[in-house]
């Protein structure tokens, strides 16, 4: 029985998931009745349920699925087209199947209620009616045969209840036992309604066998109370806080054994925290997928036409939040259908489509979850709300005059407040919206409303990071510490006073910084929070510290006094006295026991004043001027020995850190360090380049790279700066392995390090470990088209190290000449190049019958949707970031394999 019960458990779990999807699919099928893929998908689901039900001997379940499958087979074969009656009957069948599955899960057996057997008869008669109607449109010969068959089958059913219970069971069993796996179109269940009624129960027992036992079935499902998960989450949060405090104490005491124990504890706590959080996460689609059926039923009841669109169903939420938002979402959907979307005739008079559109949308923004319910209905008139509010005594006429439209709309969240002219049994616009607001605020969230008369309404729920554990960047401003969710962090930039004067510009009343050719608006945190510029007990701020943040589809720079390390924090909801401040998302307890506020990145964007046309025009002009110049490079500058300067592309760097000399170990002839629970190799550049050795220091800086799924670090003396500049790399003066070239930066001769080549010199097998290698592709000829000498040398370096034969071209025109003069296997090209850009080069290759088989990869920083569309139209197969070695090589491997398979075929 063990194997059978395991199969039953899987069957129940899979069937419940599929049935939730069926509700949505049937509604979609009504709107698109000729979607054969959808029909086939529904048929397969019902067919699987029928087959498994027969395996276990669940005759009631099998009977309902059997006759539902009969109807679906007619739809699948194109004999009939779905209509409202067919959809309703099939949805009823789904409801009965759900009820039977619930009974199987709870009791281990099917319900024996007569209602289920009555429905089998009703469903069978409906299936026969469908088949008869379909046959009526066939040829005369088919019509005659069908009529004869129906006459045989149309024997009268017994009229008394006793026989009514017995006969359908027998009929179902006989039909199922004689039915083929894939029945012909016009094959009907055989005549068996009154055969051997006296032995029906005995036959049922003989056929079904012993039923699965309820206790064993229940034990196979692990059910955990949500409150227990909440408690575990709270305990994990407290554990993280204690871990942070212990780590800080261990660092201050500098005790080796204490530090080791602290590191082990930290790893265990991190693992516990991650596993607990995983158990609580569910896609919001688990809630959204119930609404197609709800919308269908409500729209029919209200005699309206409503199309539901679901976006972002894969967005994950804490399961306790998912449970809490079910009722508020249902109420908002009811409101939208009943009092938001107009009847079809009214919509047509307004010039709208007869069918209204309702959108349910979920997405992450600023480390928070946003859920929107949007309709294109009548909207809400703020003047009407003000009038009602005055009548109810909620506000005075004087207050109404000074009330903005947004604040007026928010009045609908007052208890009992409604503008509905007629309250229906579905909902009333405004009635119960106070409950929605209350339930969301219990989660520490907020509700916003936007509406425009005759255009529609959007209700937006913002759920903050409550009781979650997240990595955050700690910054200092005005003597206080603040935390920024790392999910919003793009990069960190420090500008010297000279660079501030040169690169930070005022456009209108706003500050902007030119970051790699893009105009980055700046926000000064101390001005938003009205903090003092400097504090007496702090070191004066020199230069400008910019935290580049991402908020939705825009980036901005947050100017702070200082930047500390990243730290895992436990997010707590804001107190009532701080909830009204949009700049804050929550609070947390730091390792030293002091409280810090968590910044709301989305809220901070409201401080951006970029709406004036003139500042925007100036910003666009400035951006065009920058882009007209040479390619800019964002570099990290560092020293090994004093007065010897080196540069690498900052995009290659995974992390920067410090380490004490005592923490460096010598294992297997190599230096390694214990870093975040792993041993990673440490490379001294003086061992591979003719440069001065590292001076003796108590601490060194680490430049950590993540390549080929492994970490490796350079050991350097000092991190000097990071800067965004246009440079002309001289590749002839310093020409040797490990060096790409040199340039004068800040009046210092600076060597550009070939990171990939240094790593390969350190460990020739480094890039072969854990990768697929280039088996079967050794010596494949790669044409690299890149106008920047620096990037051309860097890309060429790691392509050659991967075993490819590389030919380089300084622009698209030269690349086109090479392609026409010698055979190549794959083209890797930049986009922005002189003489001929990457789009034109790709277009020429793909338009030439003799060359169109050549795969093309674009390596570029231009990866927006518009650029990708242009690239696709030009024939580019894949886009990759220039400095992402692993992804570029993986793309080359995949495209070459695809090419080989196509040629072999």
**Average pLDDT of the residues in 82-105:** 88
Q: How many angstroms from the chain centroid is the CA of residue 43? A: 30
| Dihedral, 146, 150, 152, 153 alpha carbons, nearest 10 | 140
Across 590-617, average pLDDT: 64
pLDDT at 867 (0 to 100): 67
- From the list 365, 362, 369, the residue with the least C-alpha distance to 601 is 365
pLDDT on residue 208: 34
Selection from 80, 183, 174 nearest residue 129 by Cα: 80
Question: Chain-wide mean pLDDT for the chain?
Answer: 76
Q: Work out the burial of residue 450: count CB atoms within 10 Å of its CB; fewer than 13 is exposed, 13-18 middle, 19 or more buried.
A: middle
The CATH number, out of the four listed (3.40.50.2300, 3.30.420.40, 3.40.50.720, 3.40.470.10), of the domain defined by the range 773-904:
3.40.50.2300
Two tokens, residue 437 = 């607001």
Most confident of 421-435, 450-464, 789-803: 450-464
Question: Where residue 856 falls among pLDDT bands split at 50, 70, 90?
Answer: very high
Known active-site residue 335: yes
Q: Give the residue with greater pLDDT, 22 vs 376.
A: 376
pLDDT (mean) for 515-526: 79
- Give, in words, the CATH class of 479-627: mainly beta
Domains 479-627 and 773-904 share a fold: no
What the block records as the tokens of 338 is 């009943």
Handedness of CA 424, 429, 434, 435 (dihedral sign): positive
Q: How confident is the model at residue 37 (pLDDT cuts 50, 70, 90)?
A: confident
Cα distance between residue 51 and residue 62, in whole Å: 7
Residue 881 DSSP SS3: coil
Sheet with strand 670-675: strands edge to edge: 655-660, 699-707, 710-716, 678-684, 670-675, 664-667
- Which position has the higher pLDDT, 22 or 777? 22
| Residue 764 pLDDT > 90 | no
| Contact in structure between 568 and 471 (CB atoms under 8 Å) | yes
Angstrom CA distances, 287 to 31, 50, 360, 383, 736, stand at 22, 27, 11, 35, 61
Q: CB–CB of 473/525 below 8 Å?
A: no
User: How far apart are the C-alpha atoms of 90 and 87, rounded to whole Å?
Assistant: 5
Beta strands 699-707 and 655-660: pairing type? antiparallel
Average pLDDT, stretch 326-334?
A: 88
With a cut of 90, say whether residue 342 has pLDDT above it. Answer: yes
Candidates 69, 110, 193, 567; catalytic one: 69
**Which range is most confident: 22-36, 202-216, 570-584, 661-675?**
661-675
- Model confidence at 632, pLDDT cuts 50, 70, 90, reads low
Domain 226-280: state its class. Answer: mainly alpha
The residue that leads in pLDDT, 532 or 112, is 112
495 and 441 Cβ atoms separated by less than 8 Å:
no
Q: Which of 205, 214, 177 is nearest to 192 (CA)?
A: 177
Strands 469-477 and 562-570: antiparallel
Confidence of residue 574 (pLDDT cuts 50, 70, 90): confident
Average of per-residue pLDDT across 691-709: 87
- Between CA 61 and CA 93 the distance in angstroms is 10
At 259, list the tokens: 């530090």
pLDDT exceeds cutoff 70 at 428: no
CATH of region 285-463:
3.30.565.10
Q: Which of 47, 66, 331, 339 is catalytic?
A: 47
Domain extents for the chain? 2-219, 226-280, 285-463, 479-627, 632-766, 773-904
Where does the pLDDT of residue 162 fall: very low under 50, low under 70, confident under 90, or very high at 90 and above?
very low
State phi, psi for 493 to the nearest 5 degrees.
-135, 135
User: Which candidate in 18, 244, 335, 545 is catalytic?
Assistant: 335
Locate all alpha helices (DSSP H) within 254-376, ordered by sequence.
256-280, 285-288, 291-301, 319-335, 344-349
SS3 307: strand
Question: Which tokens belong to 67?
Answer: 């006759």
Residue 682 dihedral angles phi and psi, to the nearest 5°: -115, 130
- The C-alpha atoms of residue 124 and residue 155 are separated, in whole angstroms, by 14
Superfamily of domain 2-219: HPT domain (1.20.120.160)
Q: Is 174 a catalytic residue?
A: no
Structure tokens at 465: 């990071």
pLDDT of 651 over the 60 cut: yes
Residue 821: what pLDDT? 92
Q: Can you name the CATH fold of 632-766?
A: OB fold (Dihydrolipoamide Acetyltransferase, E2P) (2.40.50)
Distance, CA of 448 to CA of 546 (rounded, Å)? 31
The mean pLDDT of 98-113, rounded to a whole number, is: 85
Predicted local distance difference test score (pLDDT) of residue 372: 92
Strands 518-524 and 554-560: parallel
pTM: 0.41
């Amino acid at each position: 029985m063990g194997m059978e019960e395991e199969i039953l458990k899987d069957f129940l779990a899979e069937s419940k998931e599929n049935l939730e999807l069926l509700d949505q699919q049937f509604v979609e099928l009504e709107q698109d009745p000729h979607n054969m893929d959808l029909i086939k998908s529904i048929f397969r689901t019902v067919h699987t349920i029928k087959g498994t039900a027969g395996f276990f001997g669940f005759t009631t379940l099998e009977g309902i699925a059997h006759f539902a499958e009969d109807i679906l087979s007619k739809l699948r074969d194109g004999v009939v087209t779905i209509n409202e009656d067919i959809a309703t009957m099939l949805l009823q069948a789904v409801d009965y199947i759900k009820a039977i599955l619930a009974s199987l899960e709870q009791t281990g057996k099917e319900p024996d209620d007569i209602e289920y057997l009555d429905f089998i008869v009703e469903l069978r008669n409906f299936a026969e009616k469908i088949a008869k109607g379909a046959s009526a449109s066939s040829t005369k010969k088919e019509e005659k045969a069908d009529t004869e068959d129906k006459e045989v089958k149309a024997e009268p059913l017994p009229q008394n209840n006793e026989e009514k219970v017995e006969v359908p069971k027998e009929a179902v069993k006989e039909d199922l036992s004689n039915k083929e796996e894939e029945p012909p179109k016009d094959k009907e269940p055989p005549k068996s309604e009154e055969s051997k009624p006296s032995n029906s129960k005995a036959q049922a027992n003989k056929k079904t066998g012993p039923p699965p036992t309820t206790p064993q079935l229940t034990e196979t499902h692990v059910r955990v109370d949500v409150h227990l998960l909440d408690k575990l989450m709270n305990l994990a949060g407290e554990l993280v806080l204690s871990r942070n405090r212990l780590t800080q104490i261990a660092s201050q005491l500098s005790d080796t054994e204490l530090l080791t124990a602290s590191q082990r504890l930290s790893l265990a706590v991190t693992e516990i925290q991650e596993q607990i959080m995983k158990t609580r996460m569910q896609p919001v689609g688990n809630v959204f997928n119930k609404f197609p059926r709800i919308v269908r039923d409500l729209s029919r009841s209200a005699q309206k036409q409503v199309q539901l669109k679901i976006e972002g169903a894969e967005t994950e939420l804490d399961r306790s939040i998912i449970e809490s938002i079910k009722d508020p979402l249902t109420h908002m959907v009811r409101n939208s259908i009943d009092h938001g979307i107009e009847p079809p005739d009214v919509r047509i008079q307004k010039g709208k489509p007869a069918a209204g559109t309702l959108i349910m949308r979920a997405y992450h923004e600023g480390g928070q979850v946003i859920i929107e319910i949007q309709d294109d209905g009548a909207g809400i008139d703020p003047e009407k709300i003000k009038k009602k509010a005055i009548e109810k005594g909620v506000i005075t006429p004087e207050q109404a005059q000074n009330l903005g439209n947004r604040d007026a709309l928010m009045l609908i969240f007052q208890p009992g407040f409604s503008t509905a002219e007629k309250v229906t049994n579905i909902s009333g616009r405004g009635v119960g919206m106070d409950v929605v607001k209350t339930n969301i605020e219990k989660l520490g969230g907020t509700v916003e409303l936007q509406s425009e008369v005759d255009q529609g309404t959007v209700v937006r729920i913002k759920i903050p990071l409550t009781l979650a554990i997240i990595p955050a960047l700690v910054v200092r401003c005005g003597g206080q510490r603040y935390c920024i969710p790392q999910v919003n962090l793009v990069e960190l930039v420090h500008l010297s006073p000279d660079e501030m004067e040169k690169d930070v510009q005022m456009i209108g009343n706003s500050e902007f910084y030119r970051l790699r050719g893009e105009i980055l608006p700046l926000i000064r945190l101390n001005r938003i929070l009205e903090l003092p510029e400097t504090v007496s007990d702090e070191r004066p701020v020199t230069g400008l510290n910019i935290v580049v943040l991402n908020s939705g589809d825009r980036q901005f720079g947050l100017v702070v006094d200082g930047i500390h390390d990243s730290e895992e924090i436990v997010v707590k909801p804001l107190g009532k006295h701080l909830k009204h401040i949009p700049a804050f998302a929550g609070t947390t307890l730091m390792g030293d026991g002091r409280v810090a506020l968590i910044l709301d990145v989305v809220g901070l964007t409201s401080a951006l004043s970029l709406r004036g046309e003139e500042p925007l025009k100036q910003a666009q002009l400035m951006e065009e001027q920058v882009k007209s110049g040479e390619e800019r490079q964002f570099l990290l500058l560092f020293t090994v020995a004093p007065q010897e300067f080196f540069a690498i592309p900052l995009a290659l760097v995974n992390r920067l850190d410090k380490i004490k000399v005592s923490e460096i170990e010598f294992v297997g002839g190599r230096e390694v360090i214990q870093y975040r629970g792993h041993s990673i190799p440490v490379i001294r550049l003086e061992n591979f380049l003719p440069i001065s050795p590292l001076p003796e220091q108590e601490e060194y800086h680490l430049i950590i790279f993540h390549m080929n799924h492994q970490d490796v670090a350079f050991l350097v003396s000092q991190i000097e700066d990071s800067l965004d500049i246009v440079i002309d790399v001289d590749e002839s003066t310093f020409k040797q392995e490990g060096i790409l070239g040199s340039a004068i930066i800040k009046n210092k001769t600076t060597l550009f390090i070939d990171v990939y080549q240094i790593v390969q010199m350190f460990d020739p097998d480094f890039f072969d470990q854990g990768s697929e290698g280039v088996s079967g592709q050794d010596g494949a000829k790669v044409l690299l088209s890149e106008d920047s000498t620096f990037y051309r040398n860097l890309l060429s370096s790691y392509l050659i190290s991967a075993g490819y034969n590389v030919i380089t071209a300084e622009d698209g025109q030269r690349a086109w000449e090479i392609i026409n003069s010698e055979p190549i296997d794959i083209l890797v090209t930049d986009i922005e190049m002189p003489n001929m850009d990457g789009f034109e080069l790709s277009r020429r290759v793909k338009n030439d019958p003799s060359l169109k088989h050549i795969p093309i990869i674009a390596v570029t920083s231009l990866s927006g949707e518009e650029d990708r569309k242009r690239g696709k139209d030009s024939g580019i197969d894949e886009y990759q970031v220039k400095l992402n070695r692993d992804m570029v090589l993986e793309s080359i491997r995949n495209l070459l394999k695809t090419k080989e398979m196509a040629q072999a075929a």
